[in-house]
Amino acid sequence: MDELIPQHSGLLADFIDACPFPLILCDSQGKILRTNTRLQDLLGLLQIPEDRPEKLFPESCQVRIEKTLQDQSAAFEIRHEVSGRFLKLTLAPILSRDQVLAFFDDQTEQEQAALRMRSNASELERARLQTQEAEAQLAQSEKMALLGQLVAGIAHEINTPIGSINSNNDILIRSVGKMRDFLNCPQCPAPVREDPEVVKIMGILEDINRNNRIACDRIINIIRSLRTFARLDESERKRVNIHEGIDSSLVLVHHQLKNRVEVLKEYGDLPEILCFPHQLNQVFLNILVNAEQAMPVKGTLTIKTLREGDTVLVRISDTGVGIPEENLKKIFDPGFTTKGVSVGTGLGLSICHKIIQDHRGKIAVDSEVGKGTTFTITLPVQ
């Protein structure tokens, strides 16, 4: 290569050879005039093209070399495709000779270390998020299990006294009926039958008995729903009619819906499905509570169920405020909430998502701001 360097350049050639950095001398066209052993070491087994650096480096190098000759030194980073090395290239023009010295600094290790660090950091972050999510879900499911036990325990405790009251009320109704029969029979003296006090008391007794019957029925219905909802006696997979679960969840939100939200049930003919009933009930309750909170003034809640081949579809729609599109994507993310600390934990829907996933089902949301939101749950029958 010596002959490529014009006269009086012995010093430059010596410099290039002696330089402890990988180095190339090229002309203004990028034709390699001289390299040193350091560069050959750097690029290892690679064959260095004898003529043009653009064979060694990308096209843009040529432009840079020309630019360097005009604007003085420049530094840039390139990746040598064949060896995969990541190199920092510093160009230094020798203006008097119209040549360029290119110093190479191998930054592959640093680059790889940085990459590894970045990927470690993001893995760490992912792991941290996963741990956080798992912890939150564990806490939530522990809370739900505890609540379920509490609910089942209370329901069981109330069962005996309400059973007794209910039966006593029935006895009172029968007794008052017998008294009424006696008053109406011919043997009963008319003054007794027509005594205003007797008439008044009989009327009151019949009224409060009727009233108590309605009250008892309602308590019994609530207890039945609580038990159906908690279903603690059924920790294993079971075949159930999910309408029972939806209805029991509806009873639990009834006090928040009444006089404000109209509930429309469009139940299809569903087969019993194999599931963890108390988990699914948790999903139904969650969506119902969300729907209720989305309709602060008035609205309609529509629950539609239908069978589609081997799956069962549950569609819960509200006519509430709706969810903006940017939030829709994050709605199943753990910790995402728009309700503020005191209202929601932001865990409800992420847990719903997990429960439905565990059931090999799907949960989807569709919403329009100002019109309402629809959750669609698809569950396999088996």
Residues lying near another protein in the complex (CB under 8 A): 152, 155-156, 159-164, 166-168, 170-171, 174-175, 178, 220, 223-224, 227, 232-233
Give burial (CB, 10 Å; 0-12/13-18/19+) of 167.
exposed
Is 227 or 354 the residue whose CB approaches another protein more closely? 227
What gap in Å lies between CA 240 and CA 247, rounded to an integer?
A: 13
Between CA 347 and CA 360 the distance in angstroms is 20
Burial of residue 303 (number of CB atoms within 10 Å: 0-12, 13-18, 19+): buried
Four-point Cα dihedral 104, 110, 115, 116, nearest 10:
150
72 Ramachandran zone, left/alpha/beta (phi>0; psi -120 to 50): left
CB of 250 to another protein, least distance (A): 19
Closer of 116 and 210 to another protein (Cβ): 210
Q: How far is the CB of 229 from another protein (least distance, A)?
A: 12
Q: Which residue number, 163 or 268, has a Cβ lying nearer to another protein?
A: 163
Q: How far is the CB of 289 from another protein (least distance, A)?
A: 25
Q: Which is nearer to another protein, 169 or 290 (CB)?
A: 169
Q: Which residues of 5-31 are buried (b: 16+ CB within 10 A; e: fewer)?
A: beeebeebbeebeeeeebbbbbbeebb
Q: How far apart (Å, rounded) are the C-alpha atoms in residues 183 and 195?
A: 11
Q: Report the nearest approach of another protein to the CB of residue 236 (Å).
A: 11
Quick one: 40 or 159, whose CB is closer to another protein? 159
Nearer to another protein, 112 or 168 (CB): 168
Cβ contact 308:271 at 8 Å: no
Give helix then strand counts, H and E, for the chain.
Answer: 11, 12
Which of 174, 189, 5 lies closest to 101 in space, CA to CA? 5
State the nearest-atom distance from the C-beta of 127 to another protein, in Å: 41
Q: How far is the CB of 245 from another protein (least distance, A)?
A: 16
